[in-house]
């Protein structure tokens, strides 16, 4: 149950979705029912699984244009991915290229950045007018397994239609399947919709390298679960409704707010790492994409629905040529009873 190798699977590389579906809600949807039965549908068909009185919770984080191409004064090329704000003008960044402390970097638009120091986790601390630079010259930080450069389309499609709070360096990808029209249709069924904020970090792509998944450590992610969503969750459960989380980020935020068995507002850094045996106290149903082997996200969905059920569903999805990962197809998963 806790051996990392148990959370591995093989897949043809051509199943990695390098581009989104033509329309958000036209992605495929694999439904994993409580019985273990699988249904093969389109994402728009998800409306059939919502009931009046349910509560759908979305993550309203907005992906920042966190990738930046620079040049050293010597002419060498450097690529930066800004992953965490440390102070107003100082950010932690992952880098590609050869750097040393005190290097000055120039952008195509004439801005300057200074490398202050290296960190213990092999990143750098960079100083400059970074917010302005990224807004003007930054690129959408597509996941590392998408082997192409970002294009204009990505600025819209690697962003949910309900994104409004800047801060993520990766999209809450389950939310990419919702169009404004689909959300209206769901609301018209009598389903409440609430929002939390969790700024997704680059850690979401970091594989588990330890032999035991419990030895892995997540870097914290900033999250806000406000009083209003807490009130709606309590009210929904009291009235027999279900809490439907759009994405693993929503699960982590809500279950952080519900730690200890008492749901209450939360704002701060969550380091919650959900592994098999975790007692879910808030979320009943999960909407999610397919996740990479040996990832903390695959471990989370396995804890939610059962490892064997998830891996069997993944095998069927691969056989039926579902499109995988961030720009890929989706799953609707009912919590294991």
Q: What is the mean pLDDT of the chain?
A: 96
Q: Which of 76, 102, 137 is where one domain is finished?
A: 137
Residue 27 predicted with pLDDT over 80:
yes
Q: Please check whether residue 10 lies inside any domain of the structure.
A: yes
Strands of the chain (E only): list them: 28-32, 38-42, 55-59, 61-63, 67-72, 77-87, 90-96, 104-107, 112-118, 124-127, 165-168, 192-198, 221-225, 243-246, 266-270, 285-289, 330-334
pLDDT of residue 296: 97
Question: Does residue 36 share a domain with residue 71?
Answer: no
Q: What is the mean pLDDT of residues 189-201?
A: 97
Please tell me whether residues 185 and 248 are part of one structural domain.
yes
Q: What 3-state class would DSSP assign to 195?
A: strand
Count of domains for the chain: 2
Is residue 337 over pLDDT 80?
no
**Is 310 contained in some domain?**
yes
CB neighbour class for 319 (10 Å; exposed up to 12, middle 13-18, buried from 19): exposed
229 neighbors 243 (Cβ within 8 angstroms): no
**pLDDT digits over 296-314, tens only?**
999 999 999 999 999 999 9
pLDDT at residue number 219: 84
Residue 196, SS3? strand
Q: What is the token pair recorded at 192?
A: 């409440």
pLDDT attached to residue 121: 80
**Is 114 in the same domain as 161?**
no
Rounded Cα gap, residues 331 and 40, in angstroms: 10
User: Does the structure show a pLDDT above 80 at 110?
Assistant: yes
* Residue closest to 109 by CA, chosen among 83, 129, 81, 84: 129
For the stretch 113-172, pLDDT in tens is 999 999 888 899 999 999 999 999 999 999 999 999 999 999 999 999 999 999 999 999
| Residue where one domain finishes, among candidates 137, 171, 190 | 137
Q: Which of 18-32, 114-128, 283-297 has the lowest mean pLDDT?
A: 114-128
Domain that holds residue 74: 67-137
Percent of the chain with pLDDT over 90: 92
CATH code, domain carrying 48: 3.40.1780.10
- Given a contact cutoff of 8 angstroms between Cβ atoms, the answer to whether 268 and 304 are in contact is no
Q: Which of 144, 88, 133 is nearest to 110 (CA)?
A: 133
Domain presence at residue 159: yes
Q: Is the pLDDT of residue 250 over 80?
A: yes
Are 10 and 132 within one domain?
Answer: no
Mean pLDDT of 184-208: 95
Q: List residues bridging with 40 in a β-sheet.
A: 30
Q: What is the CATH number of the domain that holds 96?
A: 2.40.10.240
What local confidence, expressed as pLDDT, does residue 42 receive? 98
**For 35-54, what is each residue's pLDDT tens digit?**
999 999 999 999 999 999 99
User: Is residue 246 pLDDT above 80, yes or no?
Assistant: yes
CA distance from start to end of the chain: 18
The mean pLDDT of 89-115, rounded to a whole number, is: 94
Tokens of 4: 């990392």
Confidence grade of residue 1 (pLDDT, cut at 50, 70, 90): confident
Residue 23 corresponds to which tokens in the numbers above? 């329309």
Least confident range of 19-33, 179-193, 196-210, 300-314: 196-210
Are both 209 and 254 inside the same structural domain?
yes
Same domain flag for 158 and 264? yes
84 & 202 share domain: no
216 found inside a domain: yes
Bigger pLDDT: 204 or 78?
A: 78
Domain boundary among 137, 168, 197: 137
pLDDT digits (tens, 9 = 90+) for 163-183: 999 999 999 999 999 999 999
Does 202 have pLDDT greater than 90? no
In this structure, the answer to whether residues 165 and 25 fall within a common structural domain is: yes
Q: Is position 147 within any domain?
A: no
Q: Same domain for 213 and 103? A: no
> Could you tell me if 282 and 258 are in contact, meaning their C-beta atoms sit under 8 angstroms apart?
yes
**Which of the pair, 219 or 132, is modelled with greater confidence?**
132
DSSP code of residue 64:
-
């Amino acid at each position: 149950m806790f051996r990392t190798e148990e959370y591995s699977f093989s897949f043809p590389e051509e199943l990695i979705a390098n581009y989104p579906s033509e329309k958000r809600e036209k992605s495929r949807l694999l439904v994993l029912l409580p019985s273990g039965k699988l249904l093969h549908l389109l994402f728009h068909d998800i409306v059939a699984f919502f009931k009046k009185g349910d509560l759908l919770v979305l993550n309203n984080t907005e992906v920042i244009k966190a990738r930046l191409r620079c040049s050293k004064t010597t002419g060498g090329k450097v690529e930066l991915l800004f992953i965490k704000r440390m102070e107003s003008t100082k950010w932690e960044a992952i880098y590609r290229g050869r750097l040393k402390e005190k290097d000055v970097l120039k952008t195509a638009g004439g801005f300057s950045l200074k490398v202050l120091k290296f960190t213990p986790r092999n990143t750098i601390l960079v100083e400059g007018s970074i917010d302005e630079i990224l807004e003007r010259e930054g690129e959408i930080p597509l996941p590392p397994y998408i082997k192409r450069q970002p294009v204009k389309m990505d600025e819209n499609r690697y962003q949910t239609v309900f994104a409004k709070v800047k801060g993520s360096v990766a999209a809450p990808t389950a939310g990419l399947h919702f169009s404004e029209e689909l959300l209206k249709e769901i609301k018209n069924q009598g389903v409440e919709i609430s929002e939390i904020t969790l700024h997704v970090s680059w850690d979401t792509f970091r594989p588990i390298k330890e032999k035991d998944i419990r030895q892995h450590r997540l870097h914290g992610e900033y999250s806000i679960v406000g009083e209003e969503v807490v009130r709606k969750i309590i009210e929904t459960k009291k009235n027999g409704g279900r809490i439907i989380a759009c994405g693993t980020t929503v699960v982590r935020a809500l279950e952080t707010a519900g730690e200890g068995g008492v749901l209450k507002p939360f704002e701060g850094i969550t380091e919650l790492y959900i592994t098999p045996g975790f007692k879910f106290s808030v979320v009943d149903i999960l909407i999610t994409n397919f996740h990479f082997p040996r990832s903390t996200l695959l471990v989370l969905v396995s804890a939610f629905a059962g490892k064997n059920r998830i891996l069997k569903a993944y095998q069927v999805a691969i056989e039926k040529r579902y499109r995988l990962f961030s720009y890929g197809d989706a799953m609707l998963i009912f919590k294991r009873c």
